[in-house]
Amino acid sequence: MQCYSGLVLALSSLLGALALLQLSLYLRVPSRYGKHEERLCRPRGRLPARCAWFLQELPSFLVPALLLALRSPPRLEPLGCRLLCCLFGWHYFYRTFIYPFFTRGRPFPLQLLFFGMLFCIYNGFLQGYYLIYCAEYPNDWCTDIRFTSGLLLFLLGMGINIHSDLLLRQLRKPGEVTYKIPQGGLFTYVSGANYFGEIVEWFGFAIATWSLPAFAFAFFTLCCIGPRAYHHHRYYLKTFTDYPKSRKALIPFVF
């Protein structure tokens, strides 16, 4: 397989367009899973959260891994490019093989699972194809300010995301499905602490890779979970009269 830059441009632009579609669809009404499902329509089928998250996220790990295996001769030079591939793989290894097995979430709607899987195939292909077949970095990319600052942001975001998801998980005993007020960590400042971490993470990745596909994905993430953080915030304010008034929705002290 070779690098077709036109394909990368087309797929990245489509991802940007999907982000805008996502924003227009879910700004007023939240996507119908988790705490926003019950009050809206009841989906026909659901899968246990563990199974659903595993299946949904698997293509994001598998597709780049397949692309890497198909590359002949296997080459990911220089070191900067190899590290960047590892960051994406590292996140999706966690999201596919670790996160689902600890989640205490409610069953996930099959319909959304299907679209989520399609999205993960699409994005896994775009990011993997670009990094494995197209990206070229100078040998000293690892010392470039874009790489180092992006990597730091990525690690910071990932740390916040994993820690916040852990705090959410600890709110429930196994088998429980009730909602409580999240406390501690970045939840002290925002209702969507896990989403804030994820957004910082993917903007860090975009800066470190300095690539159109990664910026398109960071933008998609912002448009996908940014509005969801806002809906979570409204839900908490409506549900809990003692919800901390100073807490913002997504960005500490700002929004």
Is residue 168 part of the contact set for ligand NDX (CB under 6 A)? yes
Applying CB under 6 A, which part among 3-11, 38-46, 99-107, 138-146 lies near ligand NDX? Answer: 99-107
Is residue 240 part of the contact set for ligand NDX (CB under 6 A)? no
Nearest distance, CB of residue 29 and ligand NDX, angstroms: 12
Helix, strand, coil content of the chain in percent (nearest 5): 70, 0, 30
Applying CB under 6 A, which part among 2-10, 15-23, 77-85, 127-135 lies near ligand NDX? Answer: 15-23
- Scored b (16 or more CB within 10 A) or e, 224-242 reads bbbbbbbbbbebbeeeeee
Site string for ligand NDX, 25-54 (x = CB under 6 A): x-----x--xx-------------x-----
CB atoms inside a 10 Å sphere around CB 42: 9
Is residue 172 part of the contact set for ligand NDX (CB under 6 A)? yes
Contact 178, 184 (CB under 8 A): no
Nearest distance, CB of residue 129 and ligand NDX, angstroms: 18
Give 47's DSSP letter: E
Is residue 227 part of the contact set for ligand NDX (CB under 6 A)? no
Number of H helices, E strands in the chain: 8, 2
Is residue 206 part of the contact set for ligand NDX (CB under 6 A)? no
CB nearer ligand NDX, residue 142 or residue 216: 216
CB nearer ligand NDX, residue 80 or residue 197: 197
How deeply is 174 buried, as exposed, middle or buried, from its count of CB atoms within 10 A (0-12, 13-18, 19+)? exposed
CA distances from 26 to 49, 82, 214, 226 (A): 21, 36, 22, 10
Binding site for ligand NDX (CB under 6 A): 18, 21-22, 25, 31, 34-35, 49, 56, 103-106, 112, 115-116, 119, 161, 165, 168, 171-172, 177, 179-180, 182, 194-195, 198, 221, 224-225
